[in-house]
Structure 1
Amino acid sequence: MYMNWYSVLNGRKVFEGMLKRNVVTWTSLLTGYIQAGVLLDVMSLFFRMRAEGVWPNPFTFSSVLSVVASQVWLLLHCVCVQFSDEMYAKCGLLVEEARVVFCRMETRDMVSWNTLMAGLVLNGRDLEALKLFHDSRSSITMLTESTYSTVIKLCANLKHLGLARQLHSSVLKRGFHSYGNVMTALMDAYSKAGQLDKALDIFLLMSGSQNVVSWTAMINGCIQNGDIPLAAALFSRMREDGVAPNDLTYSTILTVSEASFPPQSHAQVIKTNYECTPIVGTALMVSYSKLCGTEEALSIFKMIDQKDVVSWSAMLTCYAQAGDCNGATNAFIKMSMHGLKPNEFTISSAIDACASPAAGVDLGRQFHAISIRHRCHYALCVSSALVSMYARKGSIENAQCVFEKQTDRDLVSGNSMLSGYAQHGYNQKALDVFRQMEVEGIEMDGLTFLSVIMGCTHAGLVEEGKWKEKDEVRKLMDTKKVKKEAGCSWIQIKNKVHFFIASDKSHPLSEQIYAKLRSMTAKLKQEGYCPDTSFVLHDVAEDQKEAMLAMHSERLVLAFGLIAIPPGAPLHIFKNLRGVRGRPYSDENGL
């Protein structure tokens, strides 16, 4: 607070009076000095921070580098390299500065090429790094261990199997197969390209020189390719061979969704005291969220000592998966209060939470504005989340606007736009999106085909008797583990939300609700009502179709509302899917 008001003296007094200082408080102090123009003390404070054992983060470096002279930049460069290549590369300003310096160099050696390539790869700019590698081949003929390691990493990120094979051949010819980091990178590249057998062959060839990094990479490859039994066997064998798992190993194992795995791993994590570290704590939190819910995840989240943006983003994801928009919003606010800047994954998780039935579209629009302010609205995960959120909320025009601006599309955005069109009656547009996904080579799943069938059915494009094809799509969905979102309706009475699904009998007033429902149906038929069974997409008899319509979630919530709300009061009914076409029911019909 004091530093924001440029009261450096008062802010310094508060800082010096703190019993415990972390990287956030140090960065706040440095930023305050910079904003106040007191630049002479910035570097001395920076090195004092290091002397007291506090590790700078990318925000610390970015703040300091924004004002220091070029000579000090070189000194900071040395400090960054001393800390780690990853810390250097993760500071985006440093990468851009490195590119400028690199372009001005009259002669470039392999070290300068490697440094810039490594920075680009660690920042996720793999295509730029690949281009740089091809450019380097005209000036540099001899590749180094560092070059191989970096370029193979970008092959893994891009799943570029062809280049990985070429580099593997070059590694063998030039004798770099004895370098553990190069072979581990090759293992990772083959695993990510789906060549698990090839990765395992390389791992076995490393026998005797395998370390915790190579063991972890092989276990991770097995998990990514769905071979959980082999991953479990390797994890056990690793410890039998006397290689102690580290935090990365445990965080990898904890991603396994089998119910028995995380609790067993958790017991080992407690013994090794990794539970409070950000990387393991975050992985543990995500695992328990899937198995036990957000309460267990939150209890683990509170145990993490130094929560970073990844930990906060994971907690938001847990809330989003549970459909808890309030929890996600509160977590986002608390994260900002702790001085952490959200990234694209944080914001996409918050937007996903806004897609839940209980959230209003205005909240989603606010996070859309936040994404624009942080300049991450064009990130694929954010734009796909926006398409999904707007489509679920019925704001098709906004969903379409975001969808059309996407320069690159994935299955999530395609499915969201397709199902949004289908649910809201834009059947031809739904088919157009489906064809567009085919042209763009997006691999489709059961949800894609389900949305297409829904759109075709609403448009009257599906012939009668095509139930065999429908069953095949259902089998495909089961194979892909795709589940159609269950339709539900709800009403809020006295600050309590009452949810209903079709044929729901879980409500305490279930008997009265169904009695009211029978009364409503009888009165409707007296007035000449005839059920439109074309909405029932099941191959059953007509009387069964009528029964299904009679127990629709909207009817159940309507019957409950007529029981629970005084006569004449308005009924506000909500549902998560597209509303039924036709004349709505109302209390005015004498029901």
Structure 2
Amino acid sequence: MSRSSSSSVLNFLRHVSFPPDPRLLPSALKSCPALRLARALHAAAAVAGFSRDPFVSSSLLHAYLRFGATADACSVLDGMPHKTIVGWSALIAGHATRGDAEGAWGLLERMRSDGVEPNVITWNGLVSGLNRSGRARDAVLALVRMHGEGFLPDATGVSCALSAVGDVRDVSVGEQLHGYAVKAGCRLDACVATALIDMYGKCGRADDIVQVFDESSNMDVASCNALVAGLSRNAQVSEALRLFREFVGRGVELNVVSWTSIVACCVQNGRDLEAVDLFREMQSEGIEPNSVTIPCVLPAFANIAALMHGRSAHCFSLRKGFHHDIYVGSALVDMYAKCGRVRDARMIFEAMPSRNVVSWNAMIGGYAMHGEAENAVQLFRSMQSSKEKPDLVTFTCVLGACSQAGWTEEGRSYFNEMQHKHGISPRMEHYACIVTLLGRAGKLDDAYDNINQMPFEPDGCIWGSLLSSCRIHGNVVLAEVAAENLFQLEPENAGNYVLLSNIYASKKMWNGVNRVRDTMKNVGLKKEKGCSWIEIKNKVHMLLAGDSSHPMMAAITEKLKHLTMEMRRLGFAPSTDYVLHDVEEQEKDDILSVHSEKLAVALGLISTSHGTTLRVIKNLRICGDCHEAMKFISSFERREIYVRDTNRFHHFKDGKCSCADYW
């Protein structure tokens, strides 16, 4: 009810000439829309002498609890001539739901002092209230005390307790509750089965999730949602997809939560193309996305640079009014930045009615990805001026921006500011940024010294940063040190072996190349294939290096041959240093010509009208030869080309790159 309508009701109450009816007041209180009006009805009941009526006082108690006014509810209970177990239980649950564990326990003791003993409903309200308010550990302790006092939880109590156990990830207690549910005969209850699936999912027990589901006689939408969420938490995306398809095949009436869960599952586990397909299928099934679905699917569009799909989601959000939601707005900022439209991202950011730290991080990170360090730092200062407190991610973005621009001293300054001004202890990712910052600037010895001075053992990310910098500057000695550590930390990561092999190849150290290749062969590792994505006419195409399966491969190959001829005619020669095989020069040219980003750009050139901007995403770092080729193509074809690799965005225009060849 609006303020004006509430006032009119109050005016009516002041001028009525008949007393309130004790049978009418409970109904009025039950449908009461505002605390102010509930207090007015309370006053009217007191004037008429009905406030101590059992039905009226009980209705007042529940009305106040509905609005979170526990102090008013306590006053009503204190005024009751006969305090019932229902009133006490409701008040205890109300305090627990507000997170006031101490107040709830105090009321339980007062209840007993008043001669009223709690029952199962009292304990259920206490456990569920504490769990809903985020006091999961207190909820588990309440369950333990409940059991210790001889009360046996029913299905409602078990399901509430399992939710709390999942939040504190105490699987041993969860297993005991599971055993109790079997003995008590409530294991097959739909709510209990769903709570068991949720608990095992939160505790990292993927096999138990599926077992509980298989044993359940109920295949309803709630258990489906819990199953997908649990498997997603444990990176069991293939199993989640299989079972989701089983639900669909059996005709289970899935809802928007079900579809949103499976979309989010795919996005969180790197299955972006499947997430996009599921999102479209969801709509074809007549399920309309909501304000949760949109920020779940937008990262998938961002990851594969599906700008048209992202724009469609943006338009949908505008029509439904979701764009004002802070999570939708933040996801839109991130999507536009990752699709190469950093100016559009800033427009969305500026239009947001409110922002949180995620919003600021998305925009600062967007500038960092595009190499716009000045804008990133300026926005970071604006963030501080707006009194928004930066977090760990903020400084990762700022340090990354400094690294892209080669701002060594500025980066060091922000690293110190993070600790001394904001009290944030640097984590591994911040040290990785510093190592990258120094290494890219050619200060490899300083980078190595920083690694040795870290307060914890460096991980693969740290050594990987150093190895990448050694590749840029051709430092074989430090590269071998970094690689040796990486081989121990990440023995199955083929990329580390390939990077070392590339360093040897760039120095014509073919014995080293062969040694690395033999090691990879002996341990059964294969080089990860380069893969690129490009969106053309609302369809995302995926191209693999050396793969000829694309239906337009003949035309793509012909276009690349034409471009190669023009490059040579105009004096451009491929940089064969980036081929790690000791083969003839012509064969090296052929190897370079099938790099996935070149295939994607060639497809874009033959599939779009002249002047259309091309946007390509690559799963690996762009090589030096492809970087030079893109500069040439942008000038020769008069196209703007965006290539986002694992390191940053490269914006090619008129024969130049936004990175100024510092990458």
Q: Matched residues in 1 for 2:319 and 2:175: separation?
A: 46
Aligned-partner SS, 1:250: helix
Q: Matched residues in 1 for 2:205 and 2:336: separation?
A: 34
Partner of 1:172: 147
Partner of 1:344: 326
Please tell me whether the aligned partners of residues 491 and 572 of structure 1 are also in contact (alpha carbons under 8 angstroms).
Answer: no
Partner of 2:478: 466
* 1:359/1:280 CA distance change after superposition, 3 Å: same
Q: Matched residues in 2 for 1:352 and 1:73: separation?
A: 50
| 1:254 equivalent in alignment to 2:228 | yes
* TM-score, structure 1 normalization: 0.62
Partner of 2:215: 237
Structure 1 position 493, deviation (Å): 13
Partner of 1:510: 560
Please tell me whether the aligned partners of residues 216 and 249 of structure 1 are also in contact (alpha carbons under 8 angstroms).
Answer: yes
Q: Matched residues in 1 for 2:348 and 2:69: separation?
A: 33
Please tell me whether the aligned partners of residues 196 and 225 of structure 1 are also in contact (alpha carbons under 8 angstroms).
Answer: yes
Please tell me whether the aligned partners of residues 635 and 655 of structure 2 are also in contact (alpha carbons under 8 angstroms).
Answer: no
Partner of 1:49: none
Structure 1 position 216, deviation (Å): 1.9
Partner of 2:377: 397
Q: Matched residues in 2 for 1:550 and 1:384: separation?
A: 29
| 1:227 equivalent in alignment to 2:205 | yes
Structure 1 position 155, deviation (Å): 4.9
CA RMSD of aligned residues (A): 5.6
Partner of 1:387: 364
Aligned-partner SS, 1:259: helix
Q: Amino acid of the residue matched to residue 469 of structure 1? A: A
Q: Matched residues in 2 for 1:549 and 1:318: separation?
A: 21
| 1:133 equivalent in alignment to 2:112 | no
Structure 1 position 300, deviation (Å): 0.9
Q: Which moved more, 1:199-208 or 1:464-473?
A: 464-473
Please tell me whether the aligned partners of residues 489 and 553 of structure 1 are also in contact (alpha carbons under 8 angstroms).
Answer: no
Partner of 1:455: 437
Partner of 1:355: 337
Q: Amino acid of the residue matched to residue 327 of structure 1? A: H
Q: Amino acid of the residue matched to residue 254 of structure 1? A: V
Aligned with 1:217 (options 195, 199, 222): 195
> 1:92-171, aligned counterparts within 5 Å?
95=67, 98=69, 107=78, 111-112=90-91, 114-115=93-94, 117-118=96-97, 120=98, 129=99, 132-138=100-106, 140-141=108-109, 144-145=122-123, 146-155=125-134, 160=137, 163=138, 166-171=141-146
Find the structure with the greater CA-based Rg: 2
Please tell me whether the aligned partners of residues 328 and 353 of structure 1 are also in contact (alpha carbons under 8 angstroms).
Answer: yes
Q: Matched residues in 2 for 1:421 and 1:334: separation?
A: 36
Q: Matched residues in 2 for 1:223 and 1:301: separation?
A: 28
> 1:198-209, aligned counterparts within 5 Å?
198-207=173-182, 208-209=185-186
* 1:366/1:101 CA distance change after superposition, 3 Å: farther
Q: Matched residues in 2 for 1:176 and 1:318: separation?
A: 48
Partner of 2:627: 554
Partner of 2:293: 311
* 1:278/1:350 CA distance change after superposition, 3 Å: same
Partner of 2:246: 267
Partner of 1:21: none
* 1:478/1:185 CA distance change after superposition, 3 Å: farther
Q: Amino acid of the residue matched to residue 396 of structure 1? A: A
Structure 1 position 350, deviation (Å): 1.5
Higher RCO (Cα < 8 Å, 6 or more apart): 2
Q: Amino acid of the residue matched to residue 244 of structure 2? A: S
Partner of 2:400: 419
* 1:302/1:421 CA distance change after superposition, 3 Å: farther
Equivalenced residues, count? 478
Aligned-partner SS, 1:175: coil
Q: Matched residues in 1 for 2:571 and 2:127: separation?
A: 73
Q: Deviations over 1:33-74 (max 9, x none)?
A: x9999989xxxxxxxxxxxxxxxxxxxx99x75997866899
Q: Matched residues in 2 for 1:329 and 1:496: separation?
A: 13
Q: Amino acid of the residue matched to residue 218 of structure 1? A: L
Please tell me whether the aligned partners of residues 502 and 551 of structure 1 are also in contact (alpha carbons under 8 angstroms).
Answer: no
Q: Matched residues in 2 for 1:170 and 1:36: separation?
A: 47
Q: Amino acid of the residue matched to residue 351 of structure 1? A: V
Q: Amino acid of the residue matched to residue 274 of structure 1? A: E
Unaligned residue ranges in structure 1 (runs of 5+): 1-29, 41-60, 121-128, 526-530, 566-570
Q: Matched residues in 2 for 1:495 and 1:564: separation?
A: 22
Please tell me whether the aligned partners of residues 376 and 401 of structure 2 are also in contact (alpha carbons under 8 angstroms).
Answer: yes
Please tell me whether the aligned partners of residues 166 and 200 of structure 2 are also in contact (alpha carbons under 8 angstroms).
Answer: yes
Q: Deviations over 1:226-259 (max 9, x none)?
A: 43233222221223xxxx0322211122343432
Q: Matched residues in 1 for 2:538 and 2:221: separation?
A: 44
Partner of 1:298: 280
Structure 1 position 457, deviation (Å): 0.5
Q: Amino acid of the residue matched to residue 202 of structure 2? A: Q
Partner of 2:599: none
Q: Which moved more, 1:490-499 or 1:325-334?
A: 490-499
Structure 1 position 185, deviation (Å): 3.5
Structure 1 position 558, deviation (Å): 1.7
* 1:462/1:306 CA distance change after superposition, 3 Å: closer
Please tell me whether the aligned partners of residues 95 and 104 of structure 2 are also in contact (alpha carbons under 8 angstroms).
Answer: no
Aligned-partner SS, 1:209: coil
Q: Matched residues in 2 for 1:105 and 1:36: separation?
A: 26
* 1:179/1:296 CA distance change after superposition, 3 Å: closer
Please tell me whether the aligned partners of residues 282 and 301 of structure 1 are also in contact (alpha carbons under 8 angstroms).
Answer: no
Q: Deviations over 1:308-350 (max 9, x none)?
A: 4323443445434443344334323323423557433222221
Q: Matched residues in 2 for 1:354 and 1:481: separation?
A: 32
Q: Amino acid of the residue matched to residue 345 of structure 1? A: Y
| 1:367 equivalent in alignment to 2:367 | no
* 1:191/1:148 CA distance change after superposition, 3 Å: closer
Q: Amino acid of the residue matched to residue 203 of structure 1? A: H
Structure 1 position 352, deviation (Å): 1.9
* 1:432/1:156 CA distance change after superposition, 3 Å: farther
Please tell me whether the aligned partners of residues 307 and 336 of structure 2 are also in contact (alpha carbons under 8 angstroms).
Answer: yes
Identity of aligned residues (%): 12
> 1:22-61, aligned counterparts within 5 Å?
none
Structure 1 position 474, deviation (Å): 8.0
* 1:366/1:260 CA distance change after superposition, 3 Å: same
Aligned-partner SS, 2:339: coil
| 1:564 equivalent in alignment to 2:637 | yes
Partner of 1:47: none
Q: Which moved more, 1:344-353 or 1:321-330?
A: 321-330
